[in-house]
Amino acid sequence: MAHRDANRRAAYWRHVRRLTGLLLALWLGVTFAVIFFARELAGLTLFGWSVSFYLAAQGAILIYLAIVGFYALRMRRLDARFGEDSHGG
């Protein structure tokens, strides 16, 4: 029984680490892309503002909020799937 619990806990943390790594890579990609491509994006306009300004001021923040929301939703599903208690132990 203890072996089964150890396997479930290991699988749970493997999923958590994979999800966290993927979302951190997305966060880094969004942050890097906005900065790296700012000059190219400055030539494009969206609602009267340059796209680089829009992404830096609004778009990236909305993507970050979407990442946090997706993480919370996915973690809730993982906790339910693996029977983890979100309050510890």
Q: Looking at residue 31, what is its pLDDT?
A: 86
In this structure, is residue 72 part of a structural domain? yes
In this structure, is residue 68 part of a structural domain? yes
Q: In total, how many domains does the chain have?
A: 1
In this structure, is residue 89 part of a structural domain? no
CB of 79 within 8 A of CB of 89? no
User: Which residues of the chain are under the pLDDT cut of 70?
Assistant: 1, 85-89
In this structure, is residue 87 part of a structural domain? no
Q: Looking at residue 70, what is its pLDDT?
A: 97
CA angle 61, 62, 66 (to 5 degrees): 115
Q: Looking at residue 49, what is its pLDDT?
A: 77
In this structure, is residue 88 part of a structural domain? no
In this structure, is residue 16 part of a structural domain? yes
- Residues of the domain holding 62: 2-82
In this structure, is residue 36 part of a structural domain? yes
Q: Looking at residue 88, what is its pLDDT?
A: 52
Q: How many other C-beta atoms can be found within 10 angstroms of the C-beta atom of residue 36?
A: 10
Q: Looking at residue 41, what is its pLDDT?
A: 76
